[in-house]
Chain A
C-alpha cells in the first residue's frame, strides 16, 4: 500500500515540477543584462519592452532586500558581481557605496539634464536617478472635525494640543524613519535633537518598526479609519498614491503634506554600474535609458518619487497634490555615514529603552 502511494506521490510531484515551472523568462537567446535593486523597485512593462527591443537585450531583474541590505550584498559579491547595474543607493548610504569602490565611473551624456544639486558624487560612479521627500502627512478632515489647526512646524508637534497624534517609524529599521531622525538632527543640531525627541516622547509619539505599520495600522487615513493617529511620518508623494489607490474613487487625497522649509528630508537615489561587470558597454546603454525621459516619466506613478531628469514631465496627480517641498534639510552623506550608528543608538536609548 505504502509503496503504491509513494509511487503516486512521486509521479504527482514529477508532473507538478515539469508542468508547473514558475513563470520564468523564456529561453535566453539575446544577451542578458541584469539590473539589481532594492525591494521597492518597480517599472512598467512597456518601458522594459522598449529598452529590450531597442538594444536587442533581455533585462533580468533581481531584488536584494532593503536599500542597506542590497548594497551590502553587492559589496560582498564585488569580485563576481550579482548584476551589471544597481538601482537604489540613496544619499544615506552613498559614502558606504563609494568607499567600498564597487561602481565604475560613467559620465552619461544625460547628466546634463539633471540638476546639479542632486549630483552628490563628483566621480560619477553613482548617478542620481530619482529623489523623494520625507515629511509629515496629516488627516485634514480629522483636524477640521477636531477643531485643531494643522501643525505648521516640527516645534508644533511638541505642543500639548498635538499630544498622542503622531506616529513615526523607527529610524533603526525604516528608511523614512531614519530620514525623519536626520531631519531633526539637521534642524535642531547634534546638541538639540535629543531634547526635541524627549519632548515628542513626553507628547506620546508612537514609534513603529516599519513604515507599513505606521501608515496602514495607525495613520487614520492609511488604515481606512481604524487607526488613531492623524499625523504620520511618510512621503510628500503619499497623497497622490492615496488618490491613485483609493478604494472609493475619490479624486482628492484625504491626507495633506506638512513640509515647512528646512524640516523635510530629501532622499536622492542613484544608479551605478558594477565595476567588475563584463558588460560595461551594454550597461552604459541601460544607464542612459534609465536617465532618459521614457523611464524617468514612468518613475513617479511606479515608485512614487520624483524623476531626476529635469525634462521629465510630472503626472497630473503629482502636479496637483505632491509639489516638491522647498529647502529640504541639509546633511552631507559622509556626515551621515560617519555618525548614523551613534545617532540611532542615542535615539534608541532615549526613546525605547
Chain B
C-alpha cells in the first residue's frame, strides 16, 4: 500500500513559499548585490573589519546585554506569570493587557517616558531627593547600560507573562498537589516539579526575548546614545551612514550566524525536554485569592508591576494632559483633529487608528494561519525535516531589518510601494511568535489522548477537533495578541517604503515630533496615549475572544 502524503506536508508548502518569497529571496538578492555589485562604498574589506577591536567589542556587547536583558525580563516576568496563571481577581484582563502595551510603543516615546520618570530631573529623582534630603539627584541612569536593560525588560516582559503564564495556567494542579502531599514544598516543589514542567515555555519565550534584545536597535541608539552599539546599530551605520554595503552584509551574516546557532541549540534542547503534559481548563487551576499569603502575593506582584511597567505609561498619559504646565488640558488631543497648516498628508486621528487596525487585523489573520500550519509541521515527532526547519522559521527575527529592507527595494518590483507589503513585513516578525507559542502546547498534547480517541472510534478529523483544537485555540489567542501588538508597534517598519497618504498611529507620532513647538510635542504625546488605549482595547477584545478556553475535556 503506497503511503499517503499527510495533508500537513501539503499545507506546509504555504508558509514555506511565504518565507521563500518574502524573506529568502530578497535577502539572497541584497547579499549578492552587496558582495559582488558596484553599488556603495567599496573600500574597507572584511579582513579589515575583523581586525578592528571595535568589531569584537560590539559582538561581545551585543551578546552579553541580550543575555542580561533576558535574565532581567525573566526576573520581572515570572512572578507576574505566576499571579496571572493562578489567581482570579477583578481587573485581571485589563492588567494583562496593560503589561503588553509597552510592546507597541515607539522607542522615541518610551524614551520620553523614561526620561520624565528616571531622568536627572525625573520624578523618581525628585522624589528620592526630597525623601533623602539630597542636594544632587541620586540616580543618573541616562545613557547607561542600566537604562538599556530596563527598557528591554519593559518592552519584553509581556512575552514572558503571556507565554509562560498561558502555559502555567493549564498545568494540572494535581501534579504539584501530589508532590506537596509527598512532602515537597516551597522552593523545592517549584524547582523540582513546577520548573521542569514549565521549562519548554520558559525556554521558548526567553529565546524570543533574547533574539529581540540581540537585534535591538532603537532602544540602544536612543536610550544608550552612541556609547553602546549592537551589531544591528553597526549594520545601520555601515548601510545607511557610510553606505558600505559589503561591510553591512558581512555584519548581517555574522548576526544571522549567531542567532541561528542559538536557535539550533535551543530547538535541540526543546525537542529533548518536551514531554506530554496533562493540560487542564483554567477554571480548575485559577482560584480567587483566599488566604492572607495569597493576597499578599497578588498585591505585591501587582504593585511591583504597577511600578515597573505602568509608571512610565502613566507618566506619558499625565504629560499628554499637563504639558506646558498650564494645569490639566485636552488641547493636545483637540489639536490632533485640526489640520492647522492644510497639510496634504494630514489625517484625522480616527483615520490613523483605522489604518493601524487594518494592518494589524491582516497581520493577525496572516500570521495565525501561517504560524499554525508551521507549528503543526514542526511538531511532528522525530522528524528530521522539522528539526532542520525549526530554526529557519525563527530566522526573520534574527535578521537585520535594514539589510532586508534594502533587499525589498531591489527585489519586490511594483509590490515595493503597495500597502499590502506592510502586513506582510509585520507577519514576518509575528509568525515566529505564533509558532513559538503554539509549538510547546502542540508538543505537549499527550499522544494517549489522541490514541484513546481513535480507539474509541473517533475519525482523525474528530480527534483533531476534540483533542487539538481546544489546546490550539488557547495558544492561538496568545499568538493573536502578539501579532496584533507587533503590527501596531510597526516592527520591521524600516523594511518598507512608506506611503504618507496612509499614515498609521506611530507615523502621526513621528511626524509631530519632527518639528518644534509645544503643540507638536503635545500632539505626539496625545497620539501615544491613543495608541496605548487602542492597543489595550484590542488586547482585551482578543482575550474575550478566548474561544472556549480549554473547558471541553
Q: Do A and B come from one complex?
A: yes
Which residues of A pack against B, CB within 8 Å?
Answer: 1-3, 5, 9-10, 13, 16-17, 20-25, 34, 36, 39-48, 60-66, 68-69, 72-73, 75-77, 80, 82, 96, 100, 170, 172-173, 207-210, 212-213, 215-217, 222-228, 234-235, 238, 241-248, 301-302, 304, 340-341, 344, 348, 352-353
Find out whether the CB atom of B514 lies under 8 angstroms from the CB atom of A40. Answer: yes
What 0/1 readout, one digit per residue, does chain B (510-553) give for beta carbons within 8 Å of chain A? 11011111111110100000000000000000000101100010
Contact of B381 with A by CB under 8 A: no
Question: Could you list 20 examples of A-B contacts with CB < 8 Å?
Answer: A5-B473, A5-B545, A10-B365, A16-B361, A23-B347, A44-B341, A63-B499, A64-B497, A75-B39, A76-B409, A100-B39, A170-B225, A209-B226, A213-B112, A224-B518, A225-B324, A241-B516, A247-B519, A301-B341, A302-B343
**Contact A48:B501 (CB < 8 A) given known A16-B358, A172-B226:** no
Question: Which residue of chain B has the shortest Cβ distance to A223 in the bound complex?
Answer: B521
Contact residue among A24, A82, A226, A242 (Cβ-Cβ distance under 8 Å from B517)? A242
Question: Which residue of chain B has the shortest Cβ distance to A42 in the bound complex?
Answer: B343
Please give, as numbers and ranges, the residues of chain A lying within 8 Å of B511 by CB-CB distance.
39
Find out whether the CB atom of B121 lies under 8 angstroms from the CB atom of A226. Answer: yes
Contact residue among B40, B222, B325, B515 (Cβ-Cβ distance under 8 Å from A224)? B325
Question: Which residue of chain B has the shortest Cβ distance to A216 in the bound complex?
Answer: B521
Find out whether the CB atom of B358 lies under 8 angstroms from the CB atom of A246. Answer: no
Alpha-carbon separation in the docked complex, A170 to B514 (Å): 16
Question: Which residue of chain B has the shortest Cβ distance to A225 in the bound complex?
Answer: B325
Alpha-carbon separation in the docked complex, A93 to B338 (Å): 35
Contact residue among B237, B501, B547 (Cβ-Cβ distance under 8 Å from A2)? B547
Q: How far is the CB of B327 from chain A (nearest CB, A)?
A: 12
Find out whether the CB atom of A72 lies under 8 angstroms from the CB atom of B344. Answer: no
Alpha-carbon separation in the docked complex, A229 to B18 (Å): 50
Q: How far is the CB of A89 from chain B (nearest CB, A)?
A: 13
B window 468-504: CB within 8 A of A: 469-470, 473, 494, 497-502
Find out whether the CB atom of B514 lies under 8 angstroms from the CB atom of A39. Answer: yes
Find out whether the CB atom of B522 lies under 8 angstroms from the CB atom of A24. Answer: no
Contact residue among B108, B116, B410 (Cβ-Cβ distance under 8 Å from A77)? B410
Q: How far is the CB of B544 from chain A (nearest CB, A)?
A: 11
Alpha-carbon separation in the docked complex, A301 to B416 (Å): 31
Contact of B268 with A by CB under 8 A: no
Find out whether the CB atom of A73 lies under 8 angstroms from the CB atom of B514. Answer: no
**Contact A208:B351 (CB < 8 A) given known A22-B419, A24-B501, A44-B342:** no
Find out whether the CB atom of A45 lies under 8 angstroms from the CB atom of B355. Answer: no
Which residue of B323, B324, B497 has the most chain A CB atoms within 10 A of its CB atom?
B497
Alpha-carbon separation in the docked complex, A325 to B351 (Å): 40
Question: Which residue of chain A has the shortest Cβ distance to B402 in the bound complex?
Answer: A69
Starting from the known contacts A10-B365, A352-B226, 16 additional A-B residue pairs (CB-CB under 8 Å) come to A13-B361, A21-B358, A41-B500, A45-B346, A61-B344, A61-B500, A62-B497, A63-B497, A72-B40, A72-B239, A172-B226, A172-B237, A207-B225, A224-B325, A245-B340, A245-B516
Contact of B254 with A by CB under 8 A: no
Question: Which residue of chain A has the shortest Cβ distance to B515 in the bound complex?
Answer: A241
Q: How far is the CB of A39 from chain B (nearest CB, A)?
A: 7
Contact of B241 with A by CB under 8 A: yes
Alpha-carbon separation in the docked complex, A172 to B419 (Å): 31
Q: How far is the CB of A130 from chain B (nearest CB, A)?
A: 15
Alpha-carbon separation in the docked complex, A28 to B499 (Å): 16
**Contact A23:B355 (CB < 8 A) given known A76-B39, A217-B112, A234-B516:** yes
Alpha-carbon separation in the docked complex, A2 to B548 (Å): 7
Contact of B87 with A by CB under 8 A: no
Find out whether the CB atom of B365 lies under 8 angstroms from the CB atom of A13. Answer: yes
Contact of B273 with A by CB under 8 A: no
The 5 A-B pairs with the shortest beta carbon distances in the complex, nearest first, are A245-B517, A245-B519, A241-B516, A224-B324, A247-B518
Q: How far is the CB of A169 from chain B (nearest CB, A)?
A: 10
Find out whether the CB atom of B409 lies under 8 angstroms from the CB atom of A82. Answer: yes
Find out whether the CB atom of B514 lies under 8 angstroms from the CB atom of A247. Answer: no
Q: How far is the CB of A44 from chain B (nearest CB, A)?
A: 5
Find out whether the CB atom of A344 lies under 8 angstroms from the CB atom of B241. Answer: yes
Question: Which residue of chain A has the shortest Cβ distance to B417 in the bound complex?
Answer: A62
**Contact A25:B345 (CB < 8 A) given known A223-B521, A228-B121:** no
Find out whether the CB atom of A242 lies under 8 angstroms from the CB atom of B226. Answer: no
Contact of B227 with A by CB under 8 A: yes
Q: How far is the CB of A168 from chain B (nearest CB, A)?
A: 11
Contact of B120 with A by CB under 8 A: yes
Find out whether the CB atom of A61 lies under 8 angstroms from the CB atom of B341. Answer: no
Q: How far is the CB of A70 from chain B (nearest CB, A)?
A: 9
Alpha-carbon separation in the docked complex, A25 to B226 (Å): 40
Question: Which residue of chain B has the shortest Cβ distance to A353 in the bound complex?
Answer: B227
Please give, as numbers and ranges, the residues of chain A lying within 8 Å of B347 by CB-CB distance.
23
**Contact A304:B515 (CB < 8 A) given known A22-B355, A80-B413:** yes
Contact residue among B226, B237, B513 (Cβ-Cβ distance under 8 Å from A212)? B513
Contact residue among A43, A76, A217, A340 (Cβ-Cβ distance under 8 Å from B111)? A217
Find out whether the CB atom of B237 lies under 8 angstroms from the CB atom of A224. Answer: no
Contact of B362 with A by CB under 8 A: yes
Find out whether the CB atom of A208 lies under 8 angstroms from the CB atom of B225. Answer: yes
Find out whether the CB atom of A173 lies under 8 angstroms from the CB atom of B358. Answer: no
Contact of B28 with A by CB under 8 A: no
Please give, as numbers and ranges, the residues of chain B lying within 8 Å of A227 by CB-CB distance.
121
**Contact A63:B517 (CB < 8 A) given known A210-B222, A352-B227:** no
Contact of B295 with A by CB under 8 A: no
Contact of B14 with A by CB under 8 A: no
**Contact A72:B240 (CB < 8 A) given known A24-B419, A82-B409, A353-B227:** yes
Q: How far is the CB of A171 from chain B (nearest CB, A)?
A: 9
Q: How far is the CB of B157 from chain A (nearest CB, A)?
A: 23
Please give, as numbers and ranges, the residues of chain A lying within 8 Å of B143 by CB-CB distance.
207
Question: Which residue of chain A has the shortest Cβ distance to B323 in the bound complex?
Answer: A224
Please give, as numbers and ranges, the residues of chain A lying within 8 Å of B516 by CB-CB distance.
215, 222, 234-235, 238, 241-242, 245, 304
Find out whether the CB atom of A82 lies under 8 angstroms from the CB atom of B500. Answer: no
Q: How far is the CB of A65 from chain B (nearest CB, A)?
A: 7
What 0/1 readout, one digit per residue, does chain B (301-329) give for beta carbons within 8 Å of chain A? 00000000000000000000001111001
Contact of B71 with A by CB under 8 A: no
Please give, as numbers and ranges, the residues of chain A lying within 8 Å of B223 by CB-CB distance.
209
Contact of B242 with A by CB under 8 A: yes
Find out whether the CB atom of A2 lies under 8 angstroms from the CB atom of B469. Answer: yes
Alpha-carbon separation in the docked complex, A26 to B498 (Å): 18
Please give, as numbers and ranges, the residues of chain B lying within 8 Å of A63 by CB-CB distance.
497-500
Contact residue among A62, A76, A77, A302 (Cβ-Cβ distance under 8 Å from B499)? A62
